[in-house]
Structure 1
Amino acid sequence: MILGFVERIEDHDADAQIDAVLRAANVLLRVVAQSVVEVEDVVTSPQLRVLVMIASRGPQNLGAVAVELGVHPSNATRICERLVNAGLIGRRDDPGDRRYRALSLTPEGVSLVNTVLEHRRKAVAAVIGRMPAELRGVCAVGMDAFAAADGGEGSEDGRFSIDLDG
């Protein structure tokens, strides 16, 4: 049955291809949303974005956080202050530039980010495991091609970025 469906998608109109990708995107978004729900009692979504940003890019300053979140620097300051108070990030002065305060993850922050990302990996692995074995590789190749067609390979950390200009 599944192979017949694949042949229909390959041989027919673009609408069937788009519908298939949208169904897969729905599953992936549910996986991501569930991983966020698991930590929502600890951090908000913007706070989690800051933590994942620091985890993937290394120490950041408030200006970079404001740009990433698309918020005013004062909002970024409040978000980061809450993360500092929660013990998830630390601040340190840069001896070379006294205006620069580096924000980095504490061990608790690293643990929280790893928990979220590991949940995503396990949930995706579970879905892949329910697929017919002969289609798993095809799916992976197709998903890689889909990401590459957008001009990138995605992020290994599972973080989403939105290019509002593209």
Structure 2
Amino acid sequence: MTKKRDEITDADYEALANLRYILRRFSEFSTSAAQQEGLPSQQHQALLAMKGYRGDTPLSVGVLADRLLIAPHTASELVERLVSAGYVTREPDPADKRRQTLALTTRAADILKRLSTIHLTEIRDMAPRLIELLSDLRNEDPFPSS
């Protein structure tokens, strides 16, 4: 039977630091790729969250705020910028006319496809190292039996 270690080792610190480094590198890559397409990073994240949403309720500003971990008023401002830029449309929700549903435009779908293609390539390139780091963090040493 194995138990979690009580002490954090130098190898644990190294694995955590390396994991954070890889995540920061990916984040920087993602920000740069979005900017090359003329999108601020947060707008790219919003478009991706919208495209990937498969919830039981229609996609609304509130749902988007939850998906992006931002305040509803911040999501509302973000959606307004996306609508103004021609990336998103708002329509009344047929079930609740007080609420608006969000949808991507063809322009947004085209940019998102280009960005997602290069993001998937980057993730596939970094996957072996990421898997190795996560595996190192997952391993648990048993306490020596006495």
Same fold (TM over 0.5): yes
Cα pair distance change 1:66/1:105, threshold 3 Å: same
The sequence identity of aligned pairs, in percent, is: 22
Distance 1:146 1:112 in 2: 36
Which of 19, 42, 49 lines up with 1:46 in the alignment? 42
* Total equivalences in the alignment: 126
When normalised by structure 1's length, the TM-score is 0.60
1:30 to 6, 21, 25: 25
1:103 aligns with 2:94: no
Contact 2:89 2:102 in 1 (8 A): yes
- Matched letter for residue 113 of structure 1: L
Question: Secondary structure in 1 aligned to 2:42?
Answer: helix
Which one-letter code corresponds to 1:28 in the other structure? L
**Larger of the two Rg values belongs to structure:** 2
Residue 71 of structure 1 pairs with residue 71 of structure 2? yes
Contact 1:46 / 1:69 at 8 angstroms: preserved in 2?
Answer: no
Q: In the alignment, is the contact (CA less than 8 A) between 1:90 and 1:104 conserved in 2?
A: yes
Q: Does 1:143 align with 2:141?
A: no
Considering only aligned residues, what root-mean-square deviation do their CA atoms show, in Å? 2.9
Tell me the equivalent position of 1:118: 117
TM-score, normalising length: structure 2: 0.67
With a CA cutoff of 8 Å and minimum separation of 6, indicate the structure with the bigger relative contact order.
2
Distance 1:144 1:93 in 2: 47
Contact 2:15–2:133 (CA<8 Å) still a contact in 1? Answer: no
Matched residue SS, 2:35: coil
Cα contact 2:61–2:75 (8 A) shared by 1: yes
Q: Which runs of 5+ in 2 are unaligned?
A: 1-7, 139-146
**CA–CA separation in structure 1 for the residues paired with 2:130 and 2:75:** 38
The residue type equivalent to 1:90 in the other structure is T
Instruction: Report the CA distance shift for 1:139/1:78 in structure 2 as closer, same or farther (over 3 A).
Output: closer
CA contact (8 A) 2:34 2:41 kept: no
The unaligned stretches of length 5 or more in structure 1 are 1-12, 129-135, 148-166
